[in-house]
Each structure stands twice: as structure tokens, then as C-alpha cells.
Amino acid sequence: MKNKVFGVIIVIVIVTVVANLVVSYNSNNSICNYYDSLINECFTGVDKAELKYIIIIPNQGCGGCITYAEDFYLNNKCRNDMFFVFTSIVSLKVLYLDIKIRTENTLLDINNKFIEILPNDKIIYPIVLFIDNGKVKKIEFQSPDNNILDTM
């Protein structure tokens, strides 16, 4: 009897794990598709074959993460393989004064399109979209536990 109960519990755990992986994959896949359509809509003059990363930096949220991402922008804004999107902007004037925007590879997302699909607990972190042949292949979040910007 104990073996049957244990077997049923194992099956339930396996089914739950597989179901969560499928839901996670489909959710991530739909987010990638959403970003792919945004890239096609917003980056019409950008050579997508050269593009490897899109870094989305919210103007409000995790203070340390955003400050780190803004410093990353200042040090990397001339790279041709990166495009930057500032979103959740509190003040355009302050952003222009603090950041010295480079318009060739920076987009100001005043309608917050680049974060509207994300869950609320994720929109406070900078986001890195990994691009391959103009398509989003992977999404990572900069956070206190994941310093993804240091890997680029």
C-alpha cells in the first residue's frame, strides 16, 4: 500500500513539473514573440543582423540595478551590437541631463511598450534581450542575484 501511495505521489510531482515547464516555455515563447514584433515595429532603421543585445532600462524600480544599468549604458552606448531602450520614464528632462542620450542606438519608450507584457515583479529590473538574426532568443533580468550585464 505504501508503495502505491508513494508511486502516485511521484507521478503527481512529475506531471506538475512537466506542466510547469510547458507553461513556462509557452509564456517565455509568447514574450519573445511580443518582443520580436516590437523590434520590427520600432527598429526600422536598425541593422538587425549586427544586433546582439537590446538592453531595456526602466527609469524607476530597483535603484541599485538601474544605476548599474545606466552606468553600463554610459560605458557601452557606442557599441554597434547593442541597442538601448529607456522605459518607465519619470522625467525626460532629468533623463537627458543625467544620461546624455545617444540617439543612434537608444529608444525612449514613453508608452512603456517594452515592459507592458511583463509581470509586475519583473518590470523593476533592467532586461537584456539576446538577439540572433533579428529575433529574440533569450531574455534575462539584471537583479541583485543576477548581474547579467557583466557577461557582455
Statement: residue 106 has pLDDT above 50: yes
Q: Quick one: pLDDT at residue 1?
A: 60
* Apex 83 CA angle, 77 and 85, nearest 5: 95
Mean pLDDT is lowest, of 30-34, 44-48, 94-98, for 44-48
Q: What is the pLDDT of residues 34-51, one digit of tens each?
A: 999 998 898 888 888 889
* Apex 129 CA angle, 118 and 73, nearest 5: 105
pTM for this one? 0.78
Within 13 Å of residue 68, how many CA atoms lie on the same side as its CB? 17
Buried b / exposed e along 21-47 (16+ C-beta atoms within 10 A): eeeeeeeeeebbebbeebbeebbeebe
Q: What is the pLDDT of residues 50-79, one digit of tens each?
A: 899 999 999 888 888 999 999 999 999 999
Q: Quick one: pLDDT at residue 44?
A: 83
Q: Quick one: pLDDT at residue 98?
A: 85
DSSP code of residue 119: -
Q: Please compute the mean of the pLDDT values over residues 70-89 and round it to a whole number.
A: 94
Q: Please compute the mean of the pLDDT values over residues 139-144 and round it to a whole number.
A: 91
Cα(136)–Cα(19) distance, integer angstroms: 24
Long-range contacts of 62-69 (CB under 8 A, 24+ apart): 62/124, 62/125, 62/143, 62/144, 64/144, 65/124, 65/125, 65/126, 65/142, 65/143, 65/144, 66/126, 68/126, 68/142, 68/147, 68/149, 69/126, 69/142, 69/149
More confident residue, 84 or 16: 84
* E strand residue ranges, the chain: 53-58, 82-87, 106-109, 127-132, 135-141
